[in-house]
Amino acid sequence: MGDSWKSRKVVIVGAGAVGSTFAYALAQKGLADEIALIDANRDFAEGQALDLAHGLPYYPSVQIKVGQKQDYAGAEVIVVTAGAEQAPGESRLALIKKNKTIIELIIEEILDQQSQAVIVVATNPVDILTYTALKHTGWPKSRVMGSGTVLDSARFRYLLSQHCDVDVGNVHAYFLGEHGDSEFPAWSMTHIAGVAIDDYCPVCKKCMSWLLERKEIVKTVRESAYHIINYKGATYFAIGMALVRIVGTILQDQRSILPVSTLLEGEYGIQDVCLGVPCIVGQGGVKQIIEAPLFQEEKEALSKSAVILQNVINQVLIQD
Ligand SMILES: NC(=O)c1ccc[n+]([C@@H]2O[C@H](COP(=O)([O-])OP(=O)(O)OC[C@H]3O[C@@H](n4cnc5c(N)ncnc54)[C@H](O)[C@@H]3O)[C@@H](O)[C@H]2O)c1
């Protein structure tokens, strides 16, 4: 290997359910040369890394190890999944403050190492913590993003494909806004095999009342995480794949358009908040925000999401 060869290193902070599932999926895709797992619980990270590394004969070529803060220096992408669990009786705001402190400590260590990486935040509430991470780094906004509504959009595409009984690969669709209760479907951007959804529904004839059934699909997307958490306590497989999609497009400079959480500075008439909007993502992070010509009600839904997030930012981040 020549001197110019540079290892594609991905550091994952938080080796819990989301971090380890992402590591497992990433290793199988062969997108990274090195995966380093960091966790506040060092023994746990050790166990996770060993368990993952024992699959080495069966992955494409990759190294998997427990990471340390020095790994931030050579990382191409740092994915943050570290977070505290909600304690019994603890308010959502208190949990946000706790996770904000965790993110800030992680960012301090990343800065100490003069890292040139792109940071992808997955810890919830993802839009608020992406904003925290961005402000704390002082980096260009392109280099700090959140997983945004990439997972929600995958759920939306899956449900549409099931409903229309077509390959999910033929479904192009986005959920936008807050990764949370105020997220919404961008019907204006929804296409099946290139046909706008409003034109596709009358010819598809798979449902009795497409307006009612669309409402049901949207409700199911919004409530997905609650249902899965009720069934098994956490969600991690699909977010693991969504993170592979985001990190893959960064490592391979694919310039995929994904609804990651990014700082808006006037786009869509919104200022100083991070939320999920379509972005061209590639090497170096977010290359461009795509200002899609949304329907009027979608523009209003995006603004509503922004106001909700700005209120939380004011409560949690500014009045600290
Ligand atoms: N963005 C999304 O779409 C999405 C989807 C699912 C889950 N999540 C979020 O991902 C986060 C992780 O979920 P999980 O199920 O993996 O939780 P988990 O409890 O299984 O793992 C979290 C890990 O973070 C570690 N940790 C805590 N503080 C740390 C610190 N300062 N430095 C390093 N590691 C630290 C813990 O030890 C733990 O191992 C949660 O906030 C969850 O809500 C986001």
**Cα angle: 113, vertex 117, 121; to 5 degrees:** 105
How far apart (Å, rounded) are the C-alpha atoms in residues 182 and 236?
Answer: 21
Q: Look-up: residue for tokens 């040369």?
A: 33
- Please tell me the residue having the least CA distance from ligand 1 atom 1: 122
What mean pLDDT is reported for the chain?
Answer: 94
Structure tokens at 58: 């069966």
Tens of pLDDT, residue by residue over 108-143, are 999 999 999 999 999 999 999 999 999 999 999 999
Higher pLDDT, 265 or 208: 265
Single out the residue of 318, 276, 306, 315 nearest to residue 91, CA to CA: 315
- The whole-number pLDDT of residue 215 equals 94
175 forms beta bridges with: 185
How far apart (Å, rounded) are the C-alpha atoms in residues 132 and 105?
Answer: 11
Residues with CB under 6 Å of ligand 1 are 13-19, 38-41, 44, 81-85, 102, 105-106, 122-124, 126, 147, 151, 179, 234-236, 239
Peptide bond into 259 cis (omega under 30): no
Tens of pLDDT, residue by residue over 39-59, are 999 999 999 999 999 999 999
Pocket mutation for ligand 1, best pick of 13, 22, 81 (most atoms within 8 Å of C-beta): 81
Pocket mutation for ligand 1, best pick of 38, 101, 124 (most atoms within 8 Å of C-beta): 124
- The whole-number pLDDT of residue 320 equals 59
Residue 3 pLDDT more than 70? no
Q: Among residues of the chain, what percentage have pLDDT more than 70?
A: 97
Question: Is the pTM here over 0.75, yes or no?
Answer: yes
Q: Is residue 90 within 8 Å of residue 99, measured between CB atoms?
A: no
Single out the residue of 47, 46, 64 nearest to residue 55, CA to CA: 64
Residue 207 pLDDT more than 80? no
Residue 1 pLDDT more than 60? no
Q: How many CB atoms lie within 10 A of CB 297?
A: 11
Residue 202 pLDDT class (50, 70, 90 cuts): confident
- Please tell me the residue having the least CA distance from ligand 1 atom 12: 81
Q: Pick the atom of ligand 1 nearest to 102's CA.
A: 31
Catalytic residue among 54, 163, 172, 179: 179
Distance 150 CA to ligand 1 centre (A): 17
Q: Pick the atom of ligand 1 nearest to 15's CA.
A: 39
- The whole-number pLDDT of residue 110 equals 98
Distance 84 CA to ligand 1 centre (A): 7
- The whole-number pLDDT of residue 18 equals 97
How far apart (Å, rounded) are the C-alpha atoms in residues 93 and 319?
Answer: 12
How far apart (Å, rounded) are the C-alpha atoms in residues 227 and 220?
Answer: 9
Q: Pick the atom of ligand 1 nearest to 19's CA.
A: 16
Active site annotation includes 179: yes
Residue 88 pLDDT more than 90? no
Tens of pLDDT, residue by residue over 275-310, are 999 999 999 999 999 999 999 999 999 999 999 999
